[in-house]
Amino acid sequence: MKLKKTISLIIFILPIALIFSQDLSKPDSMSNQIERSDITRRHFLGSSIFVLGNFLPDPPEYIQLNYGYQLTPKDAIIFEFITWNYDAPLGIPYGESWENDEEDFPGYVKDYGIGIGYQRFHWKNLYTTVQANPFLQQYFTPEKDKIQTGFQLFLQLRIGYRVEIKERWFIEPSFVCNYWPINTNLPESFQILEDKWPNYFLFEPGLHFGFKF
């Protein structure tokens, strides 16, 4: 599942969130916490706008839950649980091939992952996050028969901006560079398509949301 409509929605929301960021920011913003060198709420829970893909005709069964802990005003550690389905190589770049159903696997992949990340705030609410997600991958036929199981190590570099809303809530528009150096035990028919494309995807738009407590 390429989540075409969901990604289009993200691209639409991203500039709007940035334009109104100054109006939505509150006195308890991350930038002001950094200036005061204190933390009023250390914990946060969140998810991704990609969950909206579950409302599409061919839902990816996308579930993501993030838990974060603010170590210092500038540093946080993040734990992530994520599961989803996809039916084409992740390295297909934007363009004609990305939208071409002929590039789809003869089936689909089901991922289960638990990841860990480190988030660093730099200037005001501008941040970067580096994250590693090990995935258990299950490969299925179109009839939902399981073929075999593999492993993927999925690495991310995220650059984004936190927009504070009413002190506790926030959204984080971002761009992500993805790289998966390990991707094992694909069925031969899947591997042929996978080998056509790189093992990275650059500048993927994203939008996380959550609340602090």
Question: What average pLDDT does the segment 7-35 reach?
Answer: 56
pLDDT in tens, 108-150: 999 999 999 999 999 889 999 999 999 999 999 999 999 999 9
Is 189 in a helix, a strand, or coil? helix
CB-based contacts of 6-9 (< 8 A; 24+ apart in sequence):
6/49, 6/50, 6/52, 6/53, 6/56, 7/204, 7/205, 9/49, 9/52
The number of domains in the chain is: 1
- Predicted confidence at residue 15, as pLDDT, reads 53
State what percent of residues in the chain have pLDDT above 70.
82
In whole angstroms, what is the distance from residue 181 CA to residue 164 CA? 35
- Predicted confidence at residue 57, as pLDDT, reads 84
Task: Supply the CATH number for residue 10's domain.
Answer: 2.40.160.20
Q: Is a pLDDT exceeding 90 seen at residue 25?
A: no
pLDDT in tens, 164-194: 988 899 999 999 999 999 999 999 999 999 9
Which structural domain, as residue segments, surrounds residue 172? Answer: 4-212
Contact 82, 63 (CB under 8 A): yes
Contact 158, 173 (CB under 8 A): no
Cβ count within 10 A of residue 168:
15
Regarding beta strands 146-161 and 163-165, do their DSSP bridges make them parallel or antiparallel, or are they unpaired? unpaired
Q: Is a pLDDT exceeding 60 seen at residue 78?
A: yes
What's the full length of the chain, in residues? 213
